[in-house]
Every structure is written in structure tokens, then in C-alpha cells.
Amino acid sequence: MENSVDIAIIGAGPGGLAASETCARFGASVTVIDEQSAPGGQIYRQAPENLRQRAEGFGIAYVDGVAKANAVASISAIEWRLGHAVWNVLTPQRTQSEAFLISTVTDDGLSEIEAKRVIVATGCYDMPVPFPGWTLPGVMGAGAIQALMKGQRVVPGKKIVLAGSHPLLLIIAEQMLAFGERPAAVVFSQPMWRAGRLLSRPGVAVSFAEPLAQAARAYAKLLRAGVPVIFSGAVLRADGNDRVESVTLAHLNPATGLPQPDNTREISCDAVGIGFGFTASSELVRLAGAATRWSRTGGGWIAVHDGEMRSTVANLYVAGEVAGIGGAKTAAAEGALAALSALRDAGYGVDAAELRRARSNCRRNRAFAALLQELADPGDELLRALRDEGTVICRCEEITKGQVEELLGQNPFLGTSNALKLLGRTGMGACQGRYCSRSVLELISSATGRGVEDIGQFTARPPVKPVPIHHFGGGVRD
Amino acid sequence: MSKADWDVAVVGGGLVGAASAYYLSKRGARVLLLERRELNGQASGQNAGSLHFQIEQRLVSHGEAMTRQAATILPLILDAIERWRGITAELGETDLDVVQHGGLMVAETPQQVATLERKLKLETQGGLPTRIIDGEELRSLAPYLSNSVLAATYCAVEGHGNPRLITAALARGAARQGTAIRTWTTVTGLRREEGCWRIETENSDGSVRREYASTILNAAGAWARELAALAGVHLPVFPVALTMNATDAAPPFIPLLIQHVGRRLSLKQMREGNLLIGGGWPSRFERDRNGLVTTRAAYPRMESIYGNMAVALDVVPAVARRTLLRSWTGIVGITADQLPLLGEVPEAPGFFVATGGSAFTLGLTYAAQIAELIDSGRTPLDIDIYGPRRFGHLNAYMG
């Protein structure tokens, strides 16, 4: 307990950074933990020092974000645990002490951090969308492509197809152009008019002028560069021998939004980035026993909070994507608010006006996030139509949709994600169900008619990231 | 009796409940299987799946008297060996990952070797084929064991079942024979009425039902005490939360079940290549003002994960090349005297119970015995000493 810090912040993305800066400003002792070796999270992911050239290709927001991250990193009052992957969180109720116990693993071994309060700002990952060929090397999440570009300054292909429904695809394609690579195509499942209809709502265009202008600029740049930007389309399958060599593109029926099997064409490519949206990394929140709720368009299972970022577990706070996909600005706003709540609960004098400003900042950003979620939503019907019997649902254990359906048929009493995991191994692999949880939920729902909350999610288990067992021979460092 | 809708209502959809429903319906009984959540959701699906027939470490490490008592369980063990051998074919399944390639109980100190010898004597008397091996023979049988292992007792019919698969297969078998299965159904009341049991149930959708059964079989495992209380009797069964761990998959290299006579370890390799590592390391229940919260998942203690991994590394050094994928908790029911609890409760005619420790290894046997007892009033094995009668002093003033 004497060693425990006032506030531990898990995640050094925009949410965690804003939280840590706020905590430090109030003089609280704060430790920030992140898997990566530099702060910034996914959106401001930094390259190793010898590769930091051409950062301006990611745009001014990235350059500013990285600078900001590094400025926070230089605050001497903050203790940094970078390169630390958190694999377990025990609440004070469970450690039977006054402090949370956070277990981490690094390349060198295990360590533990005790904290009186914890802010979870663990972000999100590409929403996995199974379709035939999605496990071929070269097919990846659009966010993963961006991570390679930012983290390694590598564009993983010469003929990349970006496909999905998220406007981020435009930004990634634009960044590729800046790195001298021209994407083979950018494919959106929505009809073009959908964006227009959303934007024509009263007030929308004015309130969100800046991100809209950014997307419009990217679109214009792509058209000028001759990149085909296709609407009402979807990648039906990816084919190739050792890696992806082509994709089959289908035109979607304008009335149903579903693929027209007789209206397809093949596009040759060497990599595919799929971007239908993001899934919240809420596993630590769940592991700590805090409530989550299902948000179909907002990131899957997201943390329940009280409007001031308090989770349902005392002294555990959430910020950013874990509380619903919202982007960097929302995360930063919520990180600051989570910190103010934690500080106030710890007895620090938080100015009422500052709290009010932080709350309204969150509200404003969440309004934009809601619009973006609506714009990016591909609809479950389309995602369902993309997978066939043989499509792998659980990548770790290589279980297909057909196998899952067969199990559900043979075992009519099977009605939860956990029971399917137990009987069918979906979610038992190294990813702990990150890849398959959404598909599993939908398959059980289709087979049984049960509601999402009844079907539930895989119970989060430690370690949420695999831990090399040889580390257990070496004991624990503080 | 004509009032009864069912001959037997089995409460608890774990291995013992599903197997009892299977054996009872095979004998022609009209069986209702009730489970408040999902089948196989608790210890039956969460345990490490050992088919351990050698007398357990926890039983030989608590003095001579208990060790002798433990030896009385050997007739059940001999029955279990044969049942596991036949269960896949009996259920008409092709592969339930039931493997009986043998098992070792290892010793790392001379004192532990002495315990092995003492245990071996009891096993030999009881007819369990076990022998001590060491030196070259041990190294060639199990080259993956560390040099710290001095000797081991070898039992050729030990192995593992797959906790993921067996209960579901038993439930499918029971259903084929006419057992009615109701999941998400909680028993809320049990009352003796006109020679049979009135059962009140509540489904998770809120619907309630009242029906009648000639006999109740309490197969509620760690929750057997609560269920018995509904019928107005005490059964001293206590929930105990244990930690299990799974590694990533490796090419097959450990065909045997590995246990330790002096430290907490069970280790085996499953069909898919993952190692399951356990051995009785404690997890923790949350507590509230009412005491232990046993309806919510317990969680592994950090000390248990570290400790269990450390023993595994000591005994099988190659474990160091694996990654820990998952640690979890199973909640088992243990009786006050650690022996099985098997039979009719004298103070509550028609109310039977089948539970107790080692209910994975011995689950099929418990179920088969209790099914025969319910159906014919007799059992082939002498199970009198496991009967609830031994706790009669708790129920002398109940009713």
C-alpha cells in the first residue's frame, strides 16, 4: 500500500495522455502504462528514431499529436511504464487490500503496480469481419495497415485495396499517396448519397466542418491521383496462393444493400485493408468486474459509466474507445474528465467550472462520434452476407461458420458465448476471442433467437495477453 | 404416486446430473433434468479433466487415518476406470478426447518417495494396478520430466477426459432416450406432497411452473447444500474455488497425466496440443455482507498462478517454452469429510444426492450407482459408507 500510486492510467493514447497530464497538474502521483515503447497510442503511433522521416505525410493532426504526446512524456511528475502489456487487473475487493493490483509483462519479465485508482483507456482495434479469404497473408485490418505506416514507415503493398465502410479509409488512402503508393481501389459499402443525406441534417455540416473538410480534401486528392473510389461495393472474397493476389468485388443491390453475386469483378492486388469500424478493447474493464453493454455500432461491448467516466467498479474509471468508439478528440476529452473525477473522488479540490467545461467538451465530441458511427455503420445484414459455410470464424482455433452452426444444431441447449467457447473452442486461442466474439454472438443469436445481453460475451480471463511461462521462473519485479 | 409427472427430477446440469439422467432414462425412467444456467457451466466444464485413479495427494498428505479412509474409495475407482474406457462407444460418439495412456505421480524428495510407497501399498491391497518406477525406466517413459524427479508411481490406465465435451455428449444421449432438459430454470421450492415431490421452478424468462416427481436427485455439486435446504435437510457440501491454467498448443510430447505427490500439480496435454496445468491451487470468491458470493465467478489468486507455473516449470522444464493463454476458476463441492456423498437422505424419503470430490474422475460412477439405487433400491458396489446417513446428526431436528 505504501508503494501504491494515487492513479494508474492504462493506455498512453489520447485518452490516457490527457488523463495523465490532468493528474500531474493536480500533483497526484501517477503511473502511465502502455504496451508500446513510445506514447501516442495507435493514432499517434511513433516510429523508431531512425525511421521518423516523412511524418508530415500523416497530416498536421498526426505531427501535432506526436509532439503533444512527447511533451506529456517529458513531464517529470509522471512515471512511465512503456513496453508493459497489462495482463491482469485485480480490484481492491479482490486483492483484499486498499489498492488495485495491475500485473504487466515486458520483454524482460513480470512486474506489478499497485494503485488506489485506475483509469482504463485501452482504445480499440479493427472490427474483425470474416469473409472467404480473410485469413490469407496480406489481408489485414485497415488500422493495422496504418499502424505499419506510422510505426515502421512501411506501406505493406504496391497495389492495396482498401474496403469497408469507415471514412478513415479515405484518410489512409491519402496517407499512402503521401508515401508514394497509389491504392488499387477504395471501396465503400454505402451508396454515395448516404453521406450527403447525413450531412444535410440541420447543424451537422457547420458543427463538424473540420473533419468533413478533411475527408473531402482526401477524396478530392484520391480522385486527382486516379484512385478508383467505389461506392455500393464490397469485397466478397480474397484469393491467392501463399498470399492475397486478388479480390472479388461485388456491386451491392441499392435496395437491399446486399451483394449481387452476378455483378462482380476481380481486382488484382497485393494487400487488402478492411475497415468496417472498430471494436473497443474492453477486456480489462470486464476482467475487473465492471459492467459493459452492447453497442452494435459503437464498438461492441463497451464500458458502462456514470457520465463522468466512473465505471460500475469503485475507483475504476474509463476513457475513450472503451466507453464507445469516438476518435482521438473524444478520447482526450474523456481522459481529462476521467482524471477530474478520479481526482475529485480522491479529495483533490477540482474547480466546478473546470468540471463543467470537461463535461460539455465530452458531450460535444460524443455528438460527432455518434454521427460518425451512423455514417460508418455497414449494417449487420451485409456483414452476415459476406461469410459462407467454410469461412473461418475463430482464427486461432480455425473454426468455421459451418462448424459453429453444426454444434448449435446438435446442442439445442447451447445459448451463450461462453458455452459455445467451451464446447466449440471459439475464443480459446491466443486472441482471447477478440477476433470471433462478434461473429459468435451473431451466430448464436441467429440459431436461437436469444437476445444479445442473454448470449453475453466471453468471460475475460487473465492473462488478457499471453504471457511467456519462463517469466514465472524469475519472480516479480516492482 | 399417480400424481407424479416424472419418475426422477435431476437437479444440476453438470457431469453427474447429465450422466444420471442418461443412466436413469436408459433404464426406462421418465426423467426431467433441471439446470439454472447452462449445461456444463460450472466445475464439470471448468475442471482440468484429469482421470486420476491413484490416491490423491490431498488425501495422502493428511495423516495415516485419512489415507486409509481414502483407500476405501478404490472400488469406485476401479468402476470408473472401466466406465471411462467404454463411455465414447456407449454414447455412440466418435471422439470425446478420452485418453487412458497412463499417469505418473512424481516425487522430488526422499520423503515424497516414502509417501508414494505408502500409497502404493494401499492401492495394491485395493486392486489398483500401480507400480513405482525410477532411473532409466522413468526417463525413457517420460523424458520430459526434470532431473529433480526421483521416482514416480505409474498407473497405466490414468489419463484425461475432455471436460469441454463429455457433459454435452451425456446430455445428448439422455435427450435421445427421452429425458426432458430445461436450462435457465431454477428450482425455487421443493415440498413432499402425497408421496411425491412438488417442484417449483422459475425460468429466466420469468415463467414459473409447478410439477411433481417421485424422486429428486440432487446433483447440484457445489450448490448441493442450498438445494437440500429447499427440501428441509442439511448436507455439508462446501464450495471450493480452484485455479486452472491453459498454455498455447504444442506438438504432442506429453502422452501421460502428470501429478505430484507432495506439491500441487496436475499436468496433461489435450488433443489440440494445449497443456492444462492445475493441481488444487486456490481461487477466491468475492465476499459481501452475506459472506462468500458463490454465484459469481471466482477469480484466480495471483499467488496461485505464479505458484502453479513454478511447480510446472520445476517438474516439466519444457513448459518454459510455452505461453500462458488463460487462467480460470472451477467451483467444486467438497463434503465435510472429503468423501463422496451418495445415496438417499433418510430424513427426506425420495430425496437422493450424488456429489463429492473428484466428481469428474468418479462422476460416471457416482451417476451409475445412484441411478441403479433409485431404480432398483440396490447397488452393485457397497456405497453405504458414502450415504447421507453419516450426516444424520445434522438432520435429527430438521423436518
Measured CA to CA, the distance from residue A299 to residue B381 in angstroms comes to: 57
Tell me, what's the pLDDT at A478?
Answer: 46
Q: Is the pLDDT of residue B216 over 60?
A: yes
Enumerate chain A positions whose Cβ falls within 8 A of a Cβ in B. Answer: 88, 90, 93-94, 101, 103, 112, 289, 397, 410-411, 413-416, 418-419, 422-423, 425, 428-430, 432, 454, 459, 461-463, 466-470, 472-473, 475-476
Measured CA to CA, the distance from residue A128 to residue A147 in angstroms comes to: 16
Residue B302: list chain A partners with CB under 8 A.
Answer: 88, 90, 101, 103, 112
- Domain for residue A471, yes or no? no
- Domain end residue (candidates: A213, A242, A275): A275
Measured CA to CA, the distance from residue A422 to residue A427 in angstroms comes to: 9
What is the mean pLDDT of the segment spanning A86-115? Answer: 95
CATH code at A22? 3.50.50.60
- Domain for residue A382, yes or no? no
Residue B305: list chain A partners with CB under 8 A.
Answer: 462, 472
Reported as a pLDDT band with limits 50, 70 and 90, residue B1 is very low
Tell me, what's the pLDDT at A208?
Answer: 78
Lowest mean pLDDT among A197-206, B55-64, B212-221, B234-243: B55-64
Q: Do residues A143 and A211 both lie within one domain?
A: yes
Q: How many domains would you assign to chain A?
A: 3
Nearest Cα residue in chain A from B182: A413
Q: Do residues A109 and A147 both lie within one domain?
A: no
pLDDT tens per residue, range B313-365: 999 999 999 999 999 999 999 999 888 999 999 999 999 999 988 899 999 99
Burial of A183 (0-12, 13-18, 19+ CB in 10 A): buried
- Domain for residue A49, yes or no? yes
Q: Do residues A357 and A402 both lie within one domain?
A: no
For chain A, percent of residues with pLDDT exceeding 90: 87
- Domain for residue A423, yes or no? yes
User: In which domain, by residue range, is A170 found?
Assistant: 130-275
Length of chain B, in residues: 399
Q: Is the pLDDT of residue B399 over 80?
A: no
Gap from A394 CA to chain B (nearest CA, Å): 14
- Domain for residue A32, yes or no? yes
What is the mean pLDDT of the segment spanning A41-63? Answer: 87
Say yes or no: B43 contacts chain A, CB-CB below 8 A: no
A472/B306 CB distance under 8 A: yes
pLDDT tens per residue, range B33-45: 999 999 999 999 9
A472/B310 CB distance under 8 A: yes
Q: Do residues A254 and A353 both lie within one domain?
A: no
Q: Is the pLDDT of residue A477 over 70?
A: no
B168/A415 CB distance under 8 A: no
Q: Do residues A333 and A236 both lie within one domain?
A: no
**Domain B6-44+165-235+337-395 classified CATH 3.40.640.10?**
no
Say yes or no: B38 contacts chain A, CB-CB below 8 A: yes
Q: Is the pLDDT of residue B214 over 70?
A: yes
Q: Best interface-test mutation with B: which of A469, A470, A476 has the largest number of B CBs within 10 A?
A: A469
Q: Do residues A59 and A159 both lie within one domain?
A: no
Tell me, what's the pLDDT at B16?
Answer: 98
What is the mean pLDDT of the segment spanning A381-406? Answer: 96
Reported as a pLDDT band with limits 50, 70 and 90, residue A196 is confident
- B58 or A54: whose pLDDT is higher? A54
Gap from B309 CA to chain A (nearest CA, Å): 6
Residue A112: list chain B partners with CB under 8 A.
Answer: 302
Q: Is the pLDDT of residue A137 over 90?
A: yes
Count other C-beta atoms under 10 Å from residue B78's C-beta.
Answer: 17
- Domain end residue (candidates: A217, A240, A275): A275
Q: Do residues A210 and A267 both lie within one domain?
A: yes
Q: Do residues A320 and A271 both lie within one domain?
A: no
Q: Are A407 and A376 spatial neighbours (Cβ–Cβ below 8 Å)?
A: no
- Domain end residue (candidates: A275, A308, A326): A275
- Domain for residue A162, yes or no? yes
Reported as a pLDDT band with limits 50, 70 and 90, residue A261 is confident
Q: Where are the domains of chain B?
A: 6-44+165-235+337-395, 100-158+238-335
Nearest to B328 among A103, A461, A473 (CB): A461
Q: Is ipTM over 0.90? A: yes
B248/A466 CB distance under 8 A: yes
Q: Work out the mean pLDDT of chain B and round it to a whole number.
A: 94
Say yes or no: B310 contacts chain A, CB-CB below 8 A: yes
What is the mean pLDDT of the segment spanning A207-226? Answer: 90
Place of cell 479480390: A247
Length of chain A, in residues: 478
Q: Is the pLDDT of residue A113 over 70?
A: yes
pLDDT tens per residue, range A418-465: 999 999 999 999 999 999 999 999 999 999 999 999 999 999 999 999
pLDDT tens per residue, range A293-340: 999 999 999 999 999 999 999 999 999 999 999 999 999 999 999 999
Q: Is the pLDDT of residue B2 over 90?
A: no
Nearest to B168 among A101, A418, A423 (CB): A423
The answer to whether the bond into B252 is cis (omega within 30° of 0) is no
Count Cβ–Cβ pairs < 8 Å, chain A vs chain B: 101
Q: Do residues A227 and A182 both lie within one domain?
A: yes
What is the mean pLDDT of the segment spanning A243-262? Answer: 94
Say yes or no: B203 contacts chain A, CB-CB below 8 A: no
Nearest Cα residue in chain A from B183: A413
Tell me, what's the pLDDT at B257?
Answer: 98
Q: Do residues A23 and A116 both lie within one domain?
A: yes
**B181 grid coordinates:** 432438459
Q: Do residues A266 and A219 both lie within one domain?
A: yes
Lowest mean pLDDT among A191-205, A250-264, B365-379: A191-205
pLDDT tens per residue, range B89-106: 999 999 999 999 999 999
Nearest to A413 among B183, B299, B327 (CB): B183
- Domain for residue A381, yes or no? no
Tell me, what's the pLDDT at A307?
Answer: 97
Q: Work out the mean pLDDT of chain A and round it to a whole number.
A: 94
pLDDT tens per residue, range B255-313: 999 999 999 999 999 999 999 999 999 999 988 898 998 877 789 999 999 999 999 99
- Domain for residue A67, yes or no? yes
* Domain at B100-158+238-335, CATH from 1.10.1200.120, 3.30.420.40, 3.30.9.10, 3.40.50.2300: 3.30.9.10
Q: Do residues A343 and A325 both lie within one domain?
A: yes
